[in-house]
Structure 1
Amino acid sequence: MPQESEAVASAEARGPATYDLVVRRAHVFDGHQTLAGLYDVAINGQEIASVSAEPLRGGQEVDAAGGWVMPGLIDTHIHVYDVRSVSDPDSMRAFEENELPEKLGLFLDHGITTIKSVGDPTGGILDTRAGIAAGTLTGPRLLATGCGITGRDGHPAATVFSDNPWARERFTGEVDSVQQIRDLVHHLADRKVDAIKLLSEGACAHSGGPKYLWRNPAFPDGVELERLPLDLLRAGIETAHDRGLRVTVHTTQQAAAREAIEAGADGLEHGVTIEPLTDHSLIDLMLEHDITYTPTLWIDDAHPDARRNLKRVADAGVHIALGSDTFSGRGLFGANTLEEARLMVAAGMTPTQVLAAGTSGASRQCVRPDLGTVAPGRRADLLVLNTDPTADIGNLRDLSTVILNGELVIDRRQVH
């Protein structure tokens, strides 16, 4: 049953006051569940002011006509900059001027109101974040880790960027000592990143650890890598936590996932993809440590075990966050996020579970409790859909209106 204290505003709020914007007569998926009946959702400034079963008045109104309102989608695993074309200052500037604005707009076109960059050049992505916040760039809310931190000659430095040394120095932070990883985390924290991303599988020798052959369609023969040494992994996580930053760790194997969790990680990027998840005690460990699991099926669905592993952890009650691992050169920004949602349902999650993973679950992963829920006091990032996404995840594509920070940024009502 809906939580009345969250769903319905006070009697005073349902009175004659006029709100800045009201979405009228909508079914509501609030980020956790579907509320019973039809509601008006009122916005003042950048926040939701009321979710009311009674009609409300707004200076601006959107008639949902019995459609659906839900929180804007959050994609927690994005690579914004084009890793193929950015290879020197001129090509980076050209990307930022000629390609970046369109890519950011595509997210909004598809209902993604927040993205989390997890491995873009630190200076460039933080400037992009500042431009969006200042209004000089139009795009979704942008959260960023800055460069991904890996071991010396680790992934993606020795894989994606093996022939691009200029980008390698900017997209990745390679470390080979405890002091180096501590210094780099402090540097990123000083620059006000939103989180830290470490890459476990790909580093200098892990004492006694097994070799790992990294495979990807772009590298069919594989690249031999080893896991990030445990002392560096621990030091990076400890330092980030000391600075108040959440840490997610790139893993694909059970052994690496266990090591990351035991070292104190808050979440797993990819999780377990290249092998079946046979160790139930690892799932118990995820639950015990309150881990968030980001499956990235859009990139990892080629691995036959990725879907089954996601179903196992979701059925066990592990927190799931939507993240597509979108990057330039494949698919379409924004559309890839919706494809990720479809693949999660194909893996056996219900549409409601996937919607939660892309809203309240993703906001939890990003430590942004102001996002991902339709409730008074939360950020007014909302989607208006013509049809029910809890019945068919494909209905996310039947998008009428996108509201970001209380402002209508996409309005397709005229064509319906």
Structure 2
Amino acid sequence: MIIRNVTVIDGTGAAPITGAEVVVTDGRFSAVRRATSGVRADGDGPVIDGRGGHLIPGLWESHTHLSGPALSKPEHERVGHITQLLEDFLAVGVTSVVNLGGPLDLEIQARDHREKISRPTAELFFAGPVFTGIKGWPVLDSVERASLGYQIDNADDAYRQALELADKVDFIKCIYDGEPGAPDKLPFDALKAIVAAAHDKGKKVLAHIHHRSELEEAVEAGADGIEHAFLPDDARSSAEALDVAAMLAQTNTYYCPTLVTWEQLARNGEEGYLRELADDGIITDADIPQITARPIYGRPFPRHSAEGSRARFDYAMETLGVMHDAGVKIAAGSDVALLMPSPPMALVRELQLLARAGVPMSGVLTAGTRHAAEKIGQDATAGTITENAVADAVLLDADPLADIAHLVDRSHHVGTLRRGEPLWNRSLPGA
């Protein structure tokens, strides 16, 4: 199959290729080139006219939680619930979803089920149980939540368990926040041991942090990615962001700020917030009563205060543009969808917020594609439209580099390619 008459934004950071065509063979991009004379090459298959649209890599959600919410469902419905969410992600152009922790057996079942059904869904990548301290987040005192994490208090156990887990998952996640020396905080030596074990197995490690000091220690331990915007020591100064940016850029450590999480936790119950989301195209008026009826609405989150969340959100919004300019590799992930209509729309809001934080649109696209794939150790072509890459892409009818609305507004989505299978929202010549 050839998709012709498109501008290709390939996800590598290279300049767009205008007047281009892409060739898809056996579910991969076999050529990305300037359009030929219009005569179909032997073996290239049918020709589809992209009508001057813009072809971008399929989007990635690099930090979400599917299996946790699924545990609230009856056991026989859990795999189906995750599968439906993967279908929902694909419907908004998200072709790959990274699940940041959950019961290993449920995640394996969900992946196996997804590969057996005939309906297309987003690809699933997962971490399995997270590493945390004794009764640390997210396990705490709950017997029901025990399958969400390994509770670790020493380096030897950490190394052994990480070696065993690494063979079963796509990457490893550690929760590294809390008071130093407290039982519920993963010890620093254990974090280093987990990184060493994962790297011995060729797997990446992502570290959930809270304060700047935890970010710095996680980088020192060798973590490959930092999850969540950090809480600064002095929110009035951008110096901390510059220092952190230099460290992340120098060590090639990915940074996933999850802006939408801190926005939701900071503004939960705030008059006018849902109206603002509606005006921004994230929710509809019909969504508002359903969201306000949720048990979490207007109530404090058990782990993070509204004040602390506001500080993290505001500081990240003020400094992310500077961090991008300093060479930090930003990845897009939403974490939670407490006040969003769905997890896919939480990622859409994250992309919107990244643009508002001063990340240029080229950087927003890279954050939602290539950097998200690299963060968990996928091959160099993942999240790109390049030769031999998996043929995941989104066709838009307007230039996303010109306006974030052209990416987040579904009316601009012509359709999606999933492993070379076209899922068009509207008819195209030759389709």
Q: Please tell me the TM-score bracket, short chain as reference.
A: 0.7 to 0.9
Written as runs of structure 1 = structure 2, the 5 A alignment for 1:44-193 is 44-55=25-36, 57=40, 58-83=44-69, 86=71, 91-97=74-80, 99-135=81-117, 138-158=120-140, 162=141, 164-166=142-144, 168-191=145-168, 193=169
Aligned match for 1:403, one of 389, 392, 417: 417
Aligned match for 2:398, one of 380, 387, 400: 387
Q: How many residues align?
A: 367
Partner of 1:37: 18
What is the SS of the residue equivalent to 1:65? strand
Letter in 1 for 2:99: S
Written as runs of structure 1 = structure 2, the 5 A alignment for 1:286-305 is 286-301=248-263, 302=266, 303=310, 304-305=314-315
Q: 1:342 to 1:329 in 2, by over 3 A?
A: closer
Written as runs of structure 1 = structure 2, the 5 A alignment for 1:1-12 is none
Partner of 2:343: 333
* TM-score, scaled to structure 2: 0.79
Letter in 1 for 2:176: S
Offset at residue 311 of structure 1 (A):
2.6
In structure 2, how many angstroms separate the alpha carbons of the residues matched to 1:247 and 1:127? Answer: 23
In structure 2, how many angstroms separate the alpha carbons of the residues matched to 1:151 and 1:157? Answer: 9
* TM-score, scaled to structure 1: 0.82
Partner of 1:349: 359
Offset at residue 129 of structure 1 (A):
1.8
CA contact (8 A) 2:229 2:259 kept: no
What is the SS of the residue equivalent to 2:46? strand
CA contact (8 A) 1:76 1:322 kept: yes
Offset at residue 331 of structure 1 (A):
2.9
Offset at residue 183 of structure 1 (A):
2.5
Partner of 1:22: 2
Q: 1:252 to 1:367 in 2, by over 3 A?
A: same
Structure 1 unaligned regions, length at least 5: 1-20, 212-224
Q: 1:227 to 1:152 in 2, by over 3 A?
A: closer
CA contact (8 A) 1:22 1:40 kept: yes
CA contact (8 A) 2:152 2:186 kept: no
In structure 2, how many angstroms separate the alpha carbons of the residues matched to 1:386 and 1:52? Answer: 20
Written as runs of structure 1 = structure 2, the 5 A alignment for 1:317-328 is 317-327=327-337
CA contact (8 A) 1:81 1:328 kept: no
In structure 2, how many angstroms separate the alpha carbons of the residues matched to 1:324 and 1:27? Answer: 28
Per-residue CA deviation, residues 355-388 of structure 1 (Å, 9 max, x unaligned), is 0111122222122223111111211111111111
In structure 2, how many angstroms separate the alpha carbons of the residues matched to 1:233 and 1:128? Answer: 28
What is the SS of the residue equivalent to 1:334? helix
What is the SS of the residue equivalent to 2:157? helix
In structure 1, how many angstroms separate the alpha carbons of the residues matched to 2:118 and 2:151? Answer: 32
In structure 1, how many angstroms separate the alpha carbons of the residues matched to 2:243 and 2:171? Answer: 27
In structure 1, how many angstroms separate the alpha carbons of the residues matched to 2:164 and 2:116? Answer: 23
In structure 1, how many angstroms separate the alpha carbons of the residues matched to 2:96 and 2:204? Answer: 17
Q: 1:137 to 1:150 in 2, by over 3 A?
A: farther
In structure 1, how many angstroms separate the alpha carbons of the residues matched to 2:427 and 2:23? Answer: 22
What is the SS of the residue equivalent to 1:23? strand
1:206 partnered with 2:170 = no
Partner of 1:228: 186
CA contact (8 A) 1:78 1:325 kept: yes
Per-residue CA deviation, residues 7-44 of structure 1 (Å, 9 max, x unaligned), is xxxxxxxxxxxxxx111100111102342421111100
Greater helix share, 1 or 2?
Answer: 2
Offset at residue 171 of structure 1 (A):
1.6
Offset at residue 62 of structure 1 (A):
2.8
Identity of aligned residues (%): 28
Offset at residue 286 of structure 1 (A):
1.4
Offset at residue 231 of structure 1 (A):
1.0
Partner of 2:172: 196
Q: Provide the alpha-carbon RMSD of the alignment.
A: 2.3
Letter in 1 for 2:71: V
Partner of 1:412: 425
1:237 partnered with 2:195 = yes
Per-residue CA deviation, residues 312-348 of structure 1 (Å, 9 max, x unaligned), is 3212111111111145774313222111100000111
Structure 2 unaligned regions, length at least 5: 267-309
Per-residue CA deviation, residues 221-264 of structure 1 (Å, 9 max, x unaligned), is xxxx9642211111111111111111110012100000000111
What is the SS of the residue equivalent to 2:131? strand
Letter in 1 for 2:413: L
In structure 2, how many angstroms separate the alpha carbons of the residues matched to 1:382 and 1:138? Answer: 14
Aligned match for 2:222, one of 264, 269, 294: 264
Offset at residue 71 of structure 1 (A):
0.5
Letter in 2 for 1:174: Q
Q: 1:244 to 1:199 in 2, by over 3 A?
A: same
In structure 1, how many angstroms separate the alpha carbons of the residues matched to 2:89 and 2:232? Answer: 29
Letter in 2 for 1:35: P
In structure 1, how many angstroms separate the alpha carbons of the residues matched to 2:115 and 2:199? Answer: 25
CA contact (8 A) 1:150 1:198 kept: yes
In structure 2, how many angstroms separate the alpha carbons of the residues matched to 1:147 and 1:76? Answer: 17
CA contact (8 A) 2:394 2:416 kept: yes
Tell me whether 337-346 or 123-132 shows the greater mean CA deviation: 123-132
